[in-house]
Structure 1
Amino acid sequence: MDHLAILIRSFSAFVILMLIGRILGKQTLSNMNFHEFVTAVILGAIAANFAFNEKIEVVHLLIALSVFTITSYVLSKFFLKFRNFKMWTEGAPTVLIEGGFILEDNLKKNNMTLDSLNQQLRQKEIFNIEEVEYALLEINGKLSVQKKKELQAVTLKDLQLNAGNATQFPIELVIDGQLLHGNLNSNHIPESWLLSQLKARDKKLEDVFYAVKGSNGQLYVDEYKDKIQHPIDVE
Protein backbone atom coordinates (compact mmCIF):
# COMPACT_ATOMS: atom_id res chain seq x y z
CA MET A 1 0.00 0.00 0.00
CA ASP A 2 2.90 2.36 0.74
CA HIS A 3 4.32 1.75 -2.72
CA LEU A 4 0.92 2.35 -4.29
CA ALA A 5 0.47 5.60 -2.35
CA ILE A 6 3.88 6.90 -3.52
CA LEU A 7 3.03 5.90 -7.10
CA ILE A 8 -0.25 7.81 -7.00
CA ARG A 9 1.28 10.87 -5.29
CA SER A 10 4.20 10.97 -7.76
CA PHE A 11 1.91 10.75 -10.77
CA SER A 12 -0.36 13.41 -9.26
CA ALA A 13 2.62 15.72 -8.66
CA PHE A 14 3.71 15.29 -12.27
CA VAL A 15 0.23 16.07 -13.60
CA ILE A 16 -0.13 19.10 -11.33
CA LEU A 17 3.23 20.54 -12.45
CA MET A 18 2.22 20.03 -16.09
CA LEU A 19 -1.00 21.96 -15.47
CA ILE A 20 0.87 24.73 -13.64
CA GLY A 21 3.34 25.02 -16.51
CA ARG A 22 0.43 25.31 -18.93
CA ILE A 23 -1.18 28.04 -16.80
CA LEU A 24 2.02 30.08 -16.46
CA GLY A 25 2.59 29.92 -20.24
CA LYS A 26 5.38 29.43 -22.75
CA GLN A 27 7.37 32.44 -21.53
CA THR A 28 8.26 30.55 -18.34
CA LEU A 29 9.90 27.80 -20.37
CA SER A 30 11.73 29.87 -22.99
CA ASN A 31 13.00 32.93 -21.11
CA MET A 32 13.06 32.25 -17.39
CA ASN A 33 13.57 35.46 -15.41
CA PHE A 34 14.24 35.97 -11.69
CA HIS A 35 10.76 35.50 -10.29
CA GLU A 36 10.07 32.57 -12.63
CA PHE A 37 13.32 30.91 -11.56
CA VAL A 38 12.40 31.26 -7.89
CA THR A 39 8.89 29.96 -8.58
CA ALA A 40 10.22 26.95 -10.50
CA VAL A 41 12.61 26.01 -7.68
CA ILE A 42 9.93 26.31 -5.00
CA LEU A 43 7.29 24.47 -7.03
CA GLY A 44 9.78 21.68 -7.70
CA ALA A 45 10.53 21.34 -3.99
CA ILE A 46 6.83 21.31 -3.10
CA ALA A 47 6.10 18.74 -5.83
CA ALA A 48 8.90 16.52 -4.51
CA ASN A 49 7.41 16.64 -1.01
CA PHE A 50 3.99 15.99 -2.50
CA ALA A 51 5.33 12.82 -4.10
CA PHE A 52 7.47 11.35 -1.30
CA ASN A 53 6.84 13.08 2.03
CA GLU A 54 3.81 11.36 3.56
CA LYS A 55 4.16 13.30 6.80
CA ILE A 56 2.90 16.48 5.14
CA GLU A 57 -0.82 16.62 4.49
CA VAL A 58 -1.89 16.71 0.86
CA VAL A 59 -4.18 19.70 1.48
CA HIS A 60 -1.28 21.78 2.82
CA LEU A 61 0.85 20.96 -0.21
CA LEU A 62 -2.00 21.83 -2.57
CA ILE A 63 -2.46 25.17 -0.82
CA ALA A 64 1.26 25.94 -1.13
CA LEU A 65 1.27 25.01 -4.83
CA SER A 66 -1.78 27.19 -5.43
CA VAL A 67 -0.28 30.19 -3.64
CA PHE A 68 2.99 30.14 -5.60
CA THR A 69 1.23 29.47 -8.91
CA ILE A 70 -1.23 32.34 -8.42
CA THR A 71 1.58 34.66 -7.24
CA SER A 72 3.70 33.94 -10.30
CA TYR A 73 0.72 34.33 -12.64
CA VAL A 74 -0.33 37.66 -11.08
CA LEU A 75 3.25 38.98 -11.23
CA SER A 76 3.46 38.07 -14.92
CA LYS A 77 0.30 40.06 -15.65
CA PHE A 78 1.50 42.89 -13.42
CA PHE A 79 4.77 43.10 -15.36
CA LEU A 80 2.85 43.44 -18.62
CA LYS A 81 1.05 46.50 -17.32
CA PHE A 82 3.79 48.21 -15.33
CA ARG A 83 7.07 48.07 -17.24
CA ASN A 84 8.95 50.22 -14.71
CA PHE A 85 8.16 47.73 -11.95
CA LYS A 86 9.35 44.90 -14.20
CA MET A 87 12.62 46.72 -14.89
CA TRP A 88 13.09 47.37 -11.17
CA THR A 89 12.57 43.74 -10.16
CA GLU A 90 14.25 41.97 -13.09
CA GLY A 91 16.75 44.55 -14.29
CA ALA A 92 17.57 45.38 -17.89
CA PRO A 93 19.86 43.87 -20.53
CA THR A 94 23.51 44.83 -20.02
CA VAL A 95 25.78 45.88 -22.87
CA LEU A 96 29.05 43.95 -22.63
CA ILE A 97 30.57 44.95 -25.98
CA GLU A 98 29.81 48.28 -27.62
CA GLY A 99 31.30 49.39 -30.91
CA GLY A 100 33.74 46.49 -30.73
CA PHE A 101 35.04 47.52 -27.28
CA ILE A 102 34.65 45.32 -24.18
CA LEU A 103 33.01 47.13 -21.24
CA GLU A 104 34.96 45.72 -18.31
CA ASP A 105 32.87 47.49 -15.65
CA ASN A 106 29.69 45.90 -16.98
CA LEU A 107 31.36 42.49 -16.89
CA LYS A 108 32.24 43.01 -13.22
CA LYS A 109 28.72 44.20 -12.35
CA ASN A 110 27.34 40.92 -13.66
CA ASN A 111 30.08 38.78 -12.02
CA MET A 112 31.11 37.64 -15.48
CA THR A 113 34.67 36.85 -16.53
CA LEU A 114 36.19 37.29 -19.95
CA ASP A 115 36.43 33.49 -20.18
CA SER A 116 32.67 33.24 -19.67
CA LEU A 117 32.08 35.87 -22.34
CA ASN A 118 34.31 34.05 -24.80
CA GLN A 119 32.57 30.75 -24.00
CA GLN A 120 29.16 32.20 -24.82
CA LEU A 121 30.53 33.75 -28.00
CA ARG A 122 31.94 30.38 -29.09
CA GLN A 123 28.52 28.85 -28.53
CA LYS A 124 27.33 31.31 -31.17
CA GLU A 125 30.15 30.19 -33.49
CA ILE A 126 32.20 33.33 -32.87
CA PHE A 127 35.79 32.40 -32.05
CA ASN A 128 37.29 35.84 -32.62
CA ILE A 129 35.98 38.57 -30.34
CA GLU A 130 37.10 41.15 -32.90
CA GLU A 131 34.14 40.11 -35.06
CA VAL A 132 31.64 41.48 -32.52
CA GLU A 133 30.14 44.96 -32.81
CA TYR A 134 27.60 44.67 -29.98
CA ALA A 135 26.96 42.04 -27.31
CA LEU A 136 24.18 42.20 -24.73
CA LEU A 137 23.61 40.02 -21.69
CA GLU A 138 19.84 39.52 -21.55
CA ILE A 139 17.94 39.29 -18.26
CA ASN A 140 17.59 35.51 -18.74
CA GLY A 141 21.39 35.15 -18.83
CA LYS A 142 21.65 34.55 -22.57
CA LEU A 143 23.97 36.52 -24.83
CA SER A 144 22.71 38.42 -27.87
CA VAL A 145 25.35 39.34 -30.44
CA GLN A 146 25.55 41.58 -33.49
CA LYS A 147 28.56 41.08 -35.72
CA LYS A 148 30.41 43.91 -37.39
CA LYS A 149 28.83 45.11 -40.61
CA GLU A 150 31.50 43.67 -42.89
CA LEU A 151 31.03 40.22 -41.30
CA GLN A 152 27.24 40.06 -41.44
CA ALA A 153 25.49 37.83 -43.95
CA VAL A 154 24.69 39.66 -47.18
CA THR A 155 21.08 39.92 -48.30
CA LEU A 156 19.59 41.08 -51.59
CA LYS A 157 18.59 44.31 -49.89
CA ASP A 158 22.19 44.93 -48.80
CA LEU A 159 23.35 44.75 -52.40
CA GLN A 160 21.19 47.75 -53.21
CA LEU A 161 22.53 49.87 -50.34
CA ASN A 162 25.61 52.00 -50.16
CA ALA A 163 28.29 49.98 -48.42
CA GLY A 164 29.62 53.13 -46.77
CA ASN A 165 26.51 53.75 -44.67
CA ALA A 166 27.26 53.66 -40.94
CA THR A 167 25.56 51.05 -38.78
CA GLN A 168 24.12 51.91 -35.40
CA PHE A 169 22.54 49.81 -32.70
CA PRO A 170 18.72 49.71 -32.76
CA ILE A 171 17.23 52.08 -30.18
CA GLU A 172 13.87 51.31 -28.57
CA LEU A 173 11.78 54.45 -28.21
CA VAL A 174 8.31 53.16 -27.29
CA ILE A 175 7.38 49.93 -25.50
CA ASP A 176 3.78 49.03 -24.69
CA GLY A 177 2.68 52.58 -25.43
CA GLN A 178 5.19 54.13 -23.01
CA LEU A 179 7.73 56.64 -24.24
CA LEU A 180 11.28 55.68 -23.15
CA HIS A 181 12.66 59.10 -22.21
CA GLY A 182 15.93 57.57 -21.02
CA ASN A 183 16.70 56.11 -24.45
CA LEU A 184 15.72 59.35 -26.16
CA ASN A 185 17.96 61.48 -23.93
CA SER A 186 20.98 59.15 -23.89
CA ASN A 187 20.96 58.91 -27.69
CA HIS A 188 20.19 62.60 -28.26
CA ILE A 189 16.94 61.88 -30.09
CA PRO A 190 14.42 64.73 -29.73
CA GLU A 191 10.93 63.71 -28.74
CA SER A 192 9.71 66.09 -31.45
CA TRP A 193 11.49 63.93 -34.08
CA LEU A 194 9.60 60.85 -32.97
CA LEU A 195 6.28 62.67 -32.88
CA SER A 196 6.88 64.14 -36.34
CA GLN A 197 7.72 60.67 -37.69
CA LEU A 198 4.48 59.34 -36.25
CA LYS A 199 2.51 62.30 -37.58
CA ALA A 200 3.91 61.67 -41.06
CA ARG A 201 2.44 58.18 -40.82
CA ASP A 202 -0.91 59.47 -39.51
CA LYS A 203 -0.29 57.86 -36.12
CA LYS A 204 -0.50 59.11 -32.56
CA LEU A 205 1.71 58.07 -29.65
CA GLU A 206 -1.19 56.39 -27.84
CA ASP A 207 -1.75 54.16 -30.90
CA VAL A 208 1.81 52.81 -30.85
CA PHE A 209 2.61 49.54 -29.09
CA TYR A 210 6.30 49.41 -30.07
CA ALA A 211 8.65 51.79 -31.88
CA VAL A 212 12.36 51.37 -32.52
CA LYS A 213 14.91 53.36 -34.49
CA GLY A 214 16.61 50.68 -36.54
CA SER A 215 20.27 50.25 -37.40
CA ASN A 216 19.58 52.01 -40.72
CA GLY A 217 18.21 55.07 -38.93
CA GLN A 218 14.63 54.38 -39.99
CA LEU A 219 11.74 54.18 -37.54
CA TYR A 220 9.86 50.90 -37.19
CA VAL A 221 6.39 51.20 -35.68
CA ASP A 222 3.94 48.53 -34.53
CA GLU A 223 0.43 49.63 -33.59
CA TYR A 224 -1.91 48.11 -31.03
CA LYS A 225 -4.37 47.42 -33.84
CA ASP A 226 -2.53 45.41 -36.47
CA LYS A 227 -5.62 45.03 -38.69
CA ILE A 228 -4.96 41.31 -39.09
CA GLN A 229 -8.27 39.54 -39.60
CA HIS A 230 -7.15 36.06 -38.57
CA PRO A 231 -3.91 36.15 -36.52
CA ILE A 232 -1.98 32.89 -36.40
CA ASP A 233 -1.37 31.27 -33.03
CA VAL A 234 0.46 27.96 -33.27
CA GLU A 235 -0.33 25.91 -30.18
Structure 2
Amino acid sequence: MHAYMEILIRAILSIILLLFIAKILGKQTISNMTFHDFVTGITIGAIAANLAFNEDLKWSYLLLSLVVISATSFSLSLIALKNRKLRSWISGSPTVLIEGGKILENNMKKVRYTLDSLDQAIREKGIFNMEEVEYAVLEDNGMVSVLQWDEYRYVAKKDLKLHSNAQAFPVELIMDGTFMETNLEHNGLTKDWLESELRRRGKRLCDVFYAVRGTQQQLFFDFYEDGIHKPIDKE
Protein backbone atom coordinates (compact mmCIF):
# COMPACT_ATOMS: atom_id res chain seq x y z
CA MET A 1 0.00 0.00 0.00
CA HIS A 2 2.87 2.33 0.84
CA ALA A 3 4.36 1.82 -2.66
CA TYR A 4 1.07 2.72 -4.36
CA MET A 5 0.73 5.85 -2.26
CA GLU A 6 4.29 6.91 -3.11
CA ILE A 7 3.68 6.45 -6.86
CA LEU A 8 0.42 8.43 -6.56
CA ILE A 9 2.19 11.32 -4.84
CA ARG A 10 5.11 11.26 -7.28
CA ALA A 11 2.77 11.24 -10.30
CA ILE A 12 0.76 14.19 -9.01
CA LEU A 13 3.96 16.07 -8.15
CA SER A 14 5.41 15.46 -11.63
CA ILE A 15 2.27 16.86 -13.32
CA ILE A 16 2.27 19.94 -11.09
CA LEU A 17 5.96 20.51 -11.79
CA LEU A 18 5.47 20.15 -15.56
CA LEU A 19 2.66 22.71 -15.49
CA PHE A 20 4.82 25.07 -13.44
CA ILE A 21 7.81 24.65 -15.77
CA ALA A 22 5.62 25.15 -18.87
CA LYS A 23 4.38 28.42 -17.36
CA ILE A 24 7.96 29.59 -16.81
CA LEU A 25 9.25 28.57 -20.25
CA GLY A 26 6.27 30.14 -22.02
CA LYS A 27 3.76 29.21 -24.72
CA GLN A 28 6.41 28.67 -27.37
CA THR A 29 7.38 25.38 -25.70
CA ILE A 30 3.91 23.92 -26.28
CA SER A 31 3.31 25.45 -29.73
CA ASN A 32 4.96 24.37 -32.99
CA MET A 33 8.38 23.59 -31.58
CA THR A 34 11.84 24.64 -32.71
CA PHE A 35 14.94 22.46 -32.19
CA HIS A 36 15.46 23.99 -28.76
CA ASP A 37 11.83 23.46 -27.68
CA PHE A 38 11.83 19.90 -29.03
CA VAL A 39 14.94 18.91 -27.06
CA THR A 40 13.69 20.64 -23.91
CA GLY A 41 10.25 19.03 -24.12
CA ILE A 42 11.58 15.50 -24.58
CA THR A 43 14.17 15.85 -21.80
CA ILE A 44 11.79 17.32 -19.25
CA GLY A 45 9.13 14.75 -20.16
CA ALA A 46 11.56 11.87 -19.61
CA ILE A 47 12.68 13.23 -16.23
CA ALA A 48 9.08 13.83 -15.13
CA ALA A 49 8.14 10.27 -16.12
CA ASN A 50 10.98 8.90 -14.01
CA LEU A 51 9.90 11.10 -11.14
CA ALA A 52 6.40 9.65 -11.37
CA PHE A 53 7.22 5.93 -11.63
CA ASN A 54 10.89 5.12 -11.09
CA GLU A 55 11.25 4.34 -7.38
CA ASP A 56 14.94 3.44 -7.82
CA LEU A 57 15.85 7.09 -8.42
CA LYS A 58 15.86 9.57 -5.57
CA TRP A 59 13.42 12.44 -5.60
CA SER A 60 16.18 14.94 -4.97
CA TYR A 61 18.17 13.86 -8.04
CA LEU A 62 15.15 14.13 -10.33
CA LEU A 63 14.04 17.47 -8.91
CA LEU A 64 17.56 18.83 -9.31
CA SER A 65 17.63 17.60 -12.92
CA LEU A 66 14.31 19.32 -13.67
CA VAL A 67 15.54 22.57 -12.17
CA VAL A 68 18.84 22.45 -14.10
CA ILE A 69 17.19 21.57 -17.44
CA SER A 70 14.51 24.24 -16.99
CA ALA A 71 17.06 26.88 -16.02
CA THR A 72 19.28 25.96 -18.96
CA SER A 73 16.36 26.09 -21.40
CA PHE A 74 15.23 29.45 -20.01
CA SER A 75 18.77 30.83 -20.31
CA LEU A 76 19.05 29.63 -23.92
CA SER A 77 15.76 31.37 -24.70
CA LEU A 78 17.12 34.64 -23.31
CA ILE A 79 20.35 34.22 -25.29
CA ALA A 80 18.36 33.55 -28.46
CA LEU A 81 16.44 36.78 -27.92
CA LYS A 82 19.64 38.84 -27.58
CA ASN A 83 21.96 37.24 -30.13
CA ARG A 84 20.81 36.61 -33.71
CA LYS A 85 23.75 34.34 -34.65
CA LEU A 86 23.28 32.10 -31.64
CA ARG A 87 19.50 32.15 -32.19
CA SER A 88 19.91 30.42 -35.55
CA TRP A 89 22.01 27.70 -33.87
CA ILE A 90 19.70 27.29 -30.87
CA SER A 91 16.35 27.44 -32.64
CA GLY A 92 17.27 26.84 -36.26
CA SER A 93 16.69 29.10 -39.25
CA PRO A 94 14.24 29.08 -42.18
CA THR A 95 15.22 27.29 -45.40
CA VAL A 96 13.92 28.34 -48.81
CA LEU A 97 12.65 25.30 -50.72
CA ILE A 98 11.09 27.04 -53.75
CA GLU A 99 12.28 30.36 -55.14
CA GLY A 100 10.73 32.03 -58.17
CA GLY A 101 8.79 28.84 -58.87
CA LYS A 102 11.98 26.74 -58.98
CA ILE A 103 12.60 23.92 -56.52
CA LEU A 104 15.98 24.33 -54.80
CA GLU A 105 17.24 20.74 -54.70
CA ASN A 106 20.44 21.58 -52.81
CA ASN A 107 18.54 23.29 -50.01
CA MET A 108 16.20 20.33 -49.76
CA LYS A 109 19.16 17.96 -49.49
CA LYS A 110 20.71 20.06 -46.71
CA VAL A 111 17.60 19.71 -44.52
CA ARG A 112 16.83 16.18 -45.80
CA TYR A 113 13.40 17.23 -47.04
CA THR A 114 11.79 15.03 -49.70
CA LEU A 115 9.60 15.93 -52.64
CA ASP A 116 6.81 13.85 -51.13
CA SER A 117 6.93 15.97 -47.97
CA LEU A 118 6.98 19.17 -50.03
CA ASP A 119 3.98 18.05 -52.09
CA GLN A 120 2.07 17.19 -48.92
CA ALA A 121 2.92 20.50 -47.23
CA ILE A 122 1.71 22.44 -50.28
CA ARG A 123 -1.51 20.42 -50.51
CA GLU A 124 -2.18 21.18 -46.84
CA LYS A 125 -2.22 24.85 -47.86
CA GLY A 126 -5.01 24.04 -50.32
CA ILE A 127 -2.68 24.18 -53.34
CA PHE A 128 -2.65 21.14 -55.62
CA ASN A 129 -0.69 22.55 -58.56
CA MET A 130 3.03 23.14 -58.02
CA GLU A 131 3.12 25.78 -60.75
CA GLU A 132 1.00 28.08 -58.54
CA VAL A 133 3.82 28.41 -55.98
CA GLU A 134 6.30 31.27 -56.21
CA TYR A 135 8.04 30.75 -52.84
CA ALA A 136 8.02 28.00 -50.22
CA VAL A 137 9.96 28.27 -46.98
CA LEU A 138 10.60 25.57 -44.38
CA GLU A 139 10.25 27.41 -41.07
CA ASP A 140 12.09 26.79 -37.78
CA ASN A 141 9.12 24.88 -36.39
CA GLY A 142 8.98 22.45 -39.33
CA MET A 143 5.98 24.09 -41.01
CA VAL A 144 6.09 25.20 -44.65
CA SER A 145 5.03 28.75 -45.56
CA VAL A 146 3.85 29.21 -49.16
CA LEU A 147 3.50 32.31 -51.33
CA GLN A 148 1.53 31.92 -54.57
CA TRP A 149 2.07 33.82 -57.78
CA ASP A 150 -0.02 36.99 -58.07
CA GLU A 151 -2.55 35.50 -60.47
CA TYR A 152 -3.38 32.66 -58.04
CA ARG A 153 -3.81 34.74 -54.87
CA TYR A 154 -7.19 35.58 -53.42
CA VAL A 155 -8.40 39.12 -53.97
CA ALA A 156 -8.59 41.18 -50.77
CA LYS A 157 -10.97 44.05 -50.03
CA LYS A 158 -7.98 46.38 -50.21
CA ASP A 159 -7.31 45.27 -53.80
CA LEU A 160 -10.91 46.12 -54.72
CA LYS A 161 -10.69 49.38 -52.75
CA LEU A 162 -13.62 48.35 -50.59
CA HIS A 163 -14.01 49.82 -47.12
CA SER A 164 -14.64 47.43 -44.25
CA ASN A 165 -16.13 48.18 -40.86
CA ALA A 166 -13.87 48.02 -37.83
CA GLN A 167 -13.95 44.62 -36.17
CA ALA A 168 -14.18 43.91 -32.47
CA PHE A 169 -13.05 40.89 -30.49
CA PRO A 170 -15.91 38.38 -29.98
CA VAL A 171 -17.55 38.57 -26.56
CA GLU A 172 -19.11 35.46 -25.02
CA LEU A 173 -22.37 36.42 -23.32
CA ILE A 174 -23.87 33.08 -22.28
CA MET A 175 -22.10 29.77 -21.74
CA ASP A 176 -23.83 26.56 -20.68
CA GLY A 177 -27.01 28.55 -20.08
CA THR A 178 -25.33 30.98 -17.64
CA PHE A 179 -24.77 34.72 -18.06
CA MET A 180 -21.10 35.71 -18.38
CA GLU A 181 -21.56 38.65 -16.04
CA THR A 182 -17.95 39.84 -16.17
CA ASN A 183 -18.00 39.97 -19.99
CA LEU A 184 -21.28 41.85 -19.98
CA GLU A 185 -20.01 44.39 -17.46
CA HIS A 186 -16.67 44.99 -19.18
CA ASN A 187 -18.39 45.66 -22.52
CA GLY A 188 -21.11 47.97 -21.20
CA LEU A 189 -23.87 45.39 -21.70
CA THR A 190 -26.64 44.37 -19.33
CA LYS A 191 -28.72 41.29 -18.60
CA ASP A 192 -31.89 43.26 -19.36
CA TRP A 193 -30.61 44.10 -22.84
CA LEU A 194 -29.68 40.50 -23.53
CA GLU A 195 -33.00 39.19 -22.21
CA SER A 196 -34.84 41.66 -24.45
CA GLU A 197 -32.87 40.32 -27.45
CA LEU A 198 -33.94 36.83 -26.48
CA ARG A 199 -37.60 37.87 -26.15
CA ARG A 200 -37.42 39.32 -29.67
CA ARG A 201 -36.52 35.82 -30.81
CA GLY A 202 -39.20 34.23 -28.71
CA LYS A 203 -36.68 32.63 -26.37
CA ARG A 204 -35.70 32.71 -22.70
CA LEU A 205 -32.41 32.21 -20.88
CA CYS A 206 -33.27 28.59 -20.11
CA ASP A 207 -33.45 27.93 -23.87
CA VAL A 208 -29.92 29.19 -24.59
CA PHE A 209 -26.83 26.99 -24.52
CA TYR A 210 -24.36 29.55 -25.94
CA ALA A 211 -24.47 33.20 -26.98
CA VAL A 212 -21.74 35.43 -28.40
CA ARG A 213 -21.46 38.92 -29.86
CA GLY A 214 -19.34 38.62 -32.99
CA THR A 215 -16.68 40.77 -34.62
CA GLN A 216 -19.31 42.93 -36.38
CA GLN A 217 -21.45 43.34 -33.23
CA GLN A 218 -23.82 40.64 -34.51
CA LEU A 219 -25.46 38.29 -32.02
CA PHE A 220 -25.26 34.52 -32.37
CA PHE A 221 -27.38 32.17 -30.25
CA ASP A 222 -27.19 28.39 -29.98
CA PHE A 223 -30.19 26.82 -28.30
CA TYR A 224 -30.50 23.55 -26.42
CA GLU A 225 -33.28 22.51 -28.81
CA ASP A 226 -31.66 22.48 -32.25
CA GLY A 227 -34.56 20.99 -34.17
CA ILE A 228 -32.28 18.34 -35.68
CA HIS A 229 -34.03 15.00 -35.29
CA LYS A 230 -31.36 12.81 -36.84
CA PRO A 231 -27.94 14.42 -36.19
CA ILE A 232 -24.94 13.06 -38.07
CA ASP A 233 -22.80 10.96 -35.76
CA LYS A 234 -19.87 9.36 -37.58
CA GLU A 235 -17.53 7.14 -35.58
TM range (shorter): 0.5 to 0.7
> Matched residue of 1:40: which SS?
helix
Identity %: 53
Give me the TM-score of the superposition, normalised by structure 1: 0.66
> Matched residue of 1:145: which SS?
strand
Indicate whether 1:51 and 2:19 are aligned. Answer: no
1:28-67 pair list within 5 angstroms: 28-67=29-68
Give me the TM-score of the superposition, normalised by structure 2: 0.66
CA RMSD of aligned residues (A): 1.2
Q: Which residue of 1 aligns with 2:82?
A: 81
| Kept in 1: contact 2:14–2:52 (CA 8 A) | yes
> Matched residue of 1:154: which SS?
coil
Read off the aligned partner of 2:105 and give its amino acid letter.
E
Q: CA deviation at 1:93?
A: 0.5
Q: Work out the CA distance in 1 between the residues paired with 2:13 and 2:132.
A: 51
Query: How many residues of Structure 1 are paired with residues of Structure 2 in the alignment?
Result: 160
| Kept in 1: contact 2:35–2:92 (CA 8 A) | no
Read off the aligned partner of 2:18 and give its amino acid letter.
L
Q: For each residue in 1:133-192, what CA deviation from the matched residue of structure 2 results, as whole angstroms up to 9, or x when unmatched?
A: 1100001111001111111110122235xxxxxxxxxxxxxxxxxxxxxxxxxxxxxxxx
Q: Which residue of 2 aligns with 1:151?
A: 152
Q: CA deviation at 1:76?
A: 0.4
Q: For each residue in 1:23-70, what CA deviation from the matched residue of structure 2 results, as whole angstroms up to 9, or x when unmatched?
A: 000111223111221111111110011000111110111000000000
| Kept in 1: contact 2:34–2:92 (CA 8 A) | no
Larger Rg computed on CA atoms = 2
Q: Work out the CA distance in 2 between the residues paired with 1:112 and 1:88.
A: 19
Q: Work out the CA distance in 1 between the residues paired with 2:156 and 2:54.
A: 59
Q: For each residue in 1:2-39, what CA deviation from the matched residue of structure 2 results, as whole angstroms up to 9, or x when unmatched?
A: 11111111111011101101100011122311122111
1:21-170 pair list within 5 angstroms: 21-159=22-160
User: Unaligned regions of 5+ residues in structure 2, if any?
Assistant: 162-235
> Matched residue of 1:146: which SS?
strand
User: Unaligned regions of 5+ residues in structure 1, if any?
Assistant: 161-235
1:193-208 pair list within 5 angstroms: none
Q: Which runs of 4+ in 1 moved over 6 A?
A: none
| Kept in 1: contact 2:97–2:136 (CA 8 A) | yes
Q: CA deviation at 1:102?
A: 0.8
Q: Work out the CA distance in 1 between the residues paired with 2:157 and 2:52.
A: 57
> Matched residue of 1:158: which SS?
coil
